[in-house]
Amino acid sequence: MPHIEGIRIQNYRSLKDITLGKTSKNWNAEPLPQLITIIGSNGCGKSTLIDALAFLGDCLAEGVKSACDKPHRGGIERLLTRGQDHLIQFEIYYRHNDSSTCRGYYLCIGKDKTDQPYIVHEYLGETIKYIETNAFYLSLKKGHGDVKMGTDRIDVSLTDPQRLGISTFGNLANYPHIVAFREFLESWYLSSLVPILGHQITMIGAHKHLTRNGDNLANYAQYLSHYYPSRFEKVLQDIAQCIPGIDKIILKITEDNQLLLQFIDNRYITPFYAQDISDGILKFFAYLLLLQDPEPAALIGIEELENGLHHHLVESLALEMKQVTRYLYGPQILLTTHAPHLVDILTPEEVWIMKKNDHGFSTIERAVDIQMMKELSAKKKNFWYTYYVKQGL
Ligand SMILES: Nc1ncnc2c1ncn2[C@@H]1O[C@H](COP(=O)(O)OP(=O)(O)OP(=O)(O)O)[C@@H](O)[C@H]1O
Ligand SMILES: [Mg+2]
SS3 content of the chain, % helix, strand, coil (to 5): 35, 30, 40
Sign of CA dihedral 270, 272, 276, 280: positive
Site to substitute for ligand 1 among 9, 10, 14, most atoms within 8 A of C-beta: 14
Length of the chain, in residues: 393
Instruction: Give residue 133's pLDDT band: very low, low, confident or very high (50, 70, 90).
Output: low
Whether the pLDDT of residue 68 is over 60: the answer is yes
| d(C-alpha 250, C-alpha 236), whole Å | 9
Q: Distance between alpha carbon 307 and the CA centroid of its chain, in Å?
A: 17
Name the phi and psi angles at 60, rounded to 5.
-65, -45
The gap between the terminal CA atoms of the chain, to the nearest Å, is 39
Q: What is the pLDDT of residues 310-352, one digit of tens each?
A: 999 999 999 999 999 998 778 999 999 999 989 999 999 999 9
164 vs 49, 79, 289, CA distance in Å?
A: 21, 18, 33
33 CA to centre of ligand 2 in angstroms: 22
Q: Is 46 in the pocket of ligand 1 (CB under 6 A)?
A: yes
The strand pairing partners of 202, in sequence order, are 259
Residues 6 or more apart from 341 whose CB is under 8 A from it? 311, 314, 315, 386
Choosing among 3.30.70.141, 1.10.3720.10, 3.40.50.1470, 3.40.50.300, the CATH entry for 1-188+297-393 is 3.40.50.300
Out of 70-74, 162-166, 387-391, which region has the weakest mean confidence (pLDDT)?
387-391
| d(C-alpha 31, C-alpha 42), whole Å | 27
Whether the pLDDT of residue 234 is over 80: the answer is yes
Q: What is the pLDDT of residues 168-210, one digit of tens each?
A: 999 999 999 999 999 999 999 998 777 677 777 788 899 999 9
Site to substitute for ligand 1 among 9, 44, 334, most atoms within 8 A of C-beta: 44
76 CA to centre of ligand 2 in angstroms: 20
The ligand 1 atom at the shortest distance from the C-alpha of residue 41 is 25
Fill in the DSSP letter of residue 13.
T
Out of 93-107, 155-169, 357-371, which region has the weakest mean confidence (pLDDT)?
93-107
The ligand 1 atom at the shortest distance from the C-alpha of residue 40 is 21
122 CA to centre of ligand 1 in angstroms: 26
Q: Is 68 in the pocket of ligand 1 (CB under 6 A)?
A: no
| d(C-alpha 373, C-alpha 137), whole Å | 41
What does 305-359 look like in DSSP terms, one character per residue? Answer: TTTTS-HHHHHHHHHHHHHHTSSTTS-EEEEEE--HHHHHTS-TTSEEEEEE-TT
The closest residue, in CA terms, to atom 14 on ligand 1 is 45
Site to substitute for ligand 1 among 15, 46, 336, most atoms within 8 A of C-beta: 46
Q: How many CB atoms within 10 Å of residue 240?
A: 15
CB distance 123 to 138 below 8 Å: yes
Q: Is 47 in the pocket of ligand 1 (CB under 6 A)?
A: yes
347 CA to centre of ligand 1 in angstroms: 26
Q: Is 42 in the pocket of ligand 1 (CB under 6 A)?
A: yes
What does 165-204 look like in DSSP terms, one character per residue? Answer: HHHHHTTSTT-HHHHHHHHHHHH-EE----HHHHTS-EES
Nearest to 335 by CA among 310, 308, 301: 301
The closest residue, in CA terms, to atom 28 on ligand 1 is 43
Could you tell me which residue, 386 or 177, shows the higher pLDDT? 177
41 CA to centre of ligand 2 in angstroms: 9
The strand pairing partners of 353, in sequence order, are 39, 365
Fill in the DSSP letter of residue 31.
P
Residues 6 or more apart from 178 whose CB is under 8 A from it? 124, 137, 138, 147, 165, 166, 169, 170, 172
The closest residue, in CA terms, to atom 13 on ligand 1 is 43
Burial of 179 (0-12, 13-18, 19+ CB in 10 A): middle
- Ligand closest in space to the Cα of 78: 1
| d(C-alpha 267, C-alpha 194), whole Å | 29
Burial of 22 (0-12, 13-18, 19+ CB in 10 A): buried
Q: Is 48 in the pocket of ligand 1 (CB under 6 A)?
A: yes
Domain with CATH 3.40.50.300 in the chain: 1-188+297-393
Q: Is 301 in the pocket of ligand 1 (CB under 6 A)?
A: no
Nearest to 122 by CA among 75, 96, 88: 88
Fill in the DSSP letter of residue 158.
-
- Return the pLDDT at 100: 78
What does 210-279 look like in DSSP terms, one character per residue? Answer: --TT-TTHHHHHHHHHHH-HHHHHHHHHHHHHHSTT--EEEEEE-TT-EEEEEEE-TTSSSPEEGGGS-H
348 vs 28, 33, 369, CA distance in Å?
A: 19, 11, 8
- Return the pLDDT at 380: 83
